[in-house]
Amino acid sequence: MTFKKVLFLVILSVLCISVSAQFASFRSLSTAGLIDDDIEAMLAVTEMTYVEGFNIFTNLSNFNNQSEEVFNVSSHNYLVGFKASAAKMLHFGILSASNGNTSTASADSVKSVYIDNNNDEDYDAFNTSASSEGITRATNSSNNYFVFNFGKPEGIKFGISYFNMGEETLIDTFSNVDERDSNMISGDLVRISNIWRSSSSDNLGNNNYISLNGAFSA
């Protein structure tokens, strides 16, 4: 086996693992990958010929009652897809999954410092500093898989798949510092200072993969 063939098989294996990590059936997840379902057949492309009829896939089918959460405040995910056949020879399928996570962290602090300006062992001024800072991170990702296959369960069959992975991360940060200097004798405010800082960043990522597959089943 030549080096080019070995390299091609390695790249194809990595692609299959990457796609499988994004889409998985409830049966596969609940059995630690020991038993595959129709979704895994679609990911294998040529195995899609064994999935009969028209099928709709959604992660909502894995819920048993209305009390189970589909979405919550911190994260949400959703999978939807379908597989269709025509003349028992043409097979087409789509899987689409989205996921979002938002996290927020903040901290507040207050510090007071008493000052003796004339060294008479009596405080005559004090400084109060109040600060707050926080960060919000929101990540949204989408994975879309398109597959087309030609053939029957037995015999020669071949297909092509296209996989797109996209992700966007938004990060917002802020900090606020409020300082006050006061004269303890007169009770007057000597100095007031406020410093506010904020920043935002947006990171985008997108990857596309195309895979050609062929197989023969007796």
Please report the pLDDT score of residue 54 as a whole number: 85
Whether the predicted model's global pTM rises above the 0.85 cut: no
Please report the pLDDT score of residue 77 as a whole number: 53
Q: Which amino acid is at 5?
A: K
Structure-token pair, residue 145 = 């898989």
Higher pLDDT, 10 or 165: 165
Share of the chain above pLDDT 70, in %: 73
Higher pLDDT, 112 or 2: 112
Least confident of 42-46, 143-147, 169-173: 42-46
Tell me the mean pLDDT in the region 202-209: 92
Q: Which amino acid is at 175?
A: S
Sort strands 189-217 and 55-58 into parallel, antiparallel or unpaired. Answer: unpaired
pLDDT for 68 beyond 50: no
Residue-number span of the structural domain to which 212 is assigned: 3-65+72-217
Share of the chain above pLDDT 90, in %: 25
CB 91 within 8 A of CB 84: yes
Please report the pLDDT score of residue 13 as a whole number: 45
Structure-token pair, residue 158 = 């071949």
pLDDT for 19 beyond 60: no
Instruction: Give the tens place of pLDDT for each residue, 55-66.
Output: 887 765 544 444
Q: Indicate the pLDDT class of residue 173, thresholds 50, 70 and 90.
A: very high
Please report the pLDDT score of residue 10 as a whole number: 42
Burial track 127-143 (b if 16+ CB lie within 10 A, e otherwise): eeeeeeeeeeeebebbb
Number of domains, the chain: 1
